[in-house]
Structure 1
C-alpha cells in the first residue's frame, strides 16, 4: 500500500509537562484538528487510551460526511523531565492508516514539538489523505500554541 511521512516542528509557549498533559486527553483533539468534531467511547487501559474520533468532511460546501476513526493513544515520559512523547495509531474506513508521534522537548520559550505522521492508504486515496493530514498538521501547531499560551 502506498505511504508517505509528514513532519512539522513548532514551538509552544508551555513546559513539556503541560504539552504532554494536553495531548494525552482525547477531548483536547476536538478543534486541535480542524476536521475533528467529536470524541466518543473513550476507554483507558493502563497507559493506553482507545477512542472513536469523528472527522467531518465537507464536499463542495454542501455535502458533509462524518468519518468515524478508531484511535489508540499512548504516552511515554522521556528520560528527562523536559522531554516526552505521545504516540497514536488511527484506523479509518477506506483502508487509510496513520501512526503519529509528538516528540516534546524543552525549548527556550517552552517546548519544541516534532509532529510526525506516517500515512498509508490505497492507491488513489493517498494524495487526498496526505493533503488533509498536512492541513491538519499545519493548523495543529498554531492551535496548540494558542491554547497553551493562556
Structure 2
C-alpha cells in the first residue's frame, strides 16, 4: 500500500491542557474536521465519525472507526480505518510556548492503489482547516 505523510505546525493561544481536553472529546471533532457531521458509538478509546462527502448533487456518508488516545497536555493520537481501505494514523503533539501552544499535526496515510491522490487531497484540506478551526474555538474560551 502506498503511504504519504502530511504535516502541519501551527500555534494556538490556549494552553496545552485546553487543546488536549478539546482534542480528546469525540464530539468536538464535529466541524473540527469539516467533513465530520456526526459522531456515533462512542466507547472508551474509540468512536465512529460520520464523514459527509458531496459529489455533484449526491451525498455519501462514510462511517469510520476512530481510535483516540493521549498523554495529558502533551499529545493525542489514534488511527482511522475507512471502509474503502483507507487507513490513517494521526498525531497531535502539544508544546507549550510563550504565545500558547504549538501543535504539530501529523497524518500517515495508507491507501489502496489508485486512491492516494483523492484521499491525501481530502486529508490535507481537513488538516489545514483544522488548524484555523481549533485556534478559533480555543481562542473563544
TM-score, normalized by the shorter chain, greater than 0.5: yes
Q: Which aligned pairs between 1:1-150 and structure 2 lie closer than 5 A?
A: 1-44=1-44, 49-60=45-56, 62-77=57-72, 83-150=73-140
Q: Say which SS state the counterpart of residue 14 (structure 1) adopts.
A: coil
Superposition deviation, residue 108 in structure 1 = 1.7
CA distance in 1, matches of 2:46, 2:6: 23
Q: Say which SS state the counterpart of residue 94 (structure 1) adopts.
A: coil
Q: Say which SS state the counterpart of residue 93 (structure 2) adopts.
A: strand
Provide, for residues 99-148 of structure 1, a one-character-per-residue CA deviation record: whole Å limited to 9, x for no partner: 00000000121100000000000011011000000000000000000000
Structure 1 gap ranges (5+): 78-82
> What is the TM-score when the length of structure 2 is the normalising length?
0.97
> What is the TM-score when the length of structure 1 is the normalising length?
0.92
CA distance in 2, matches of 1:149, 1:7: 22
CA RMSD of aligned residues (A): 0.7
Provide, for residues 34-70 of structure 1, a one-character-per-residue CA deviation record: whole Å limited to 9, x for no partner: 00000001011xxxx111000000002x110000000
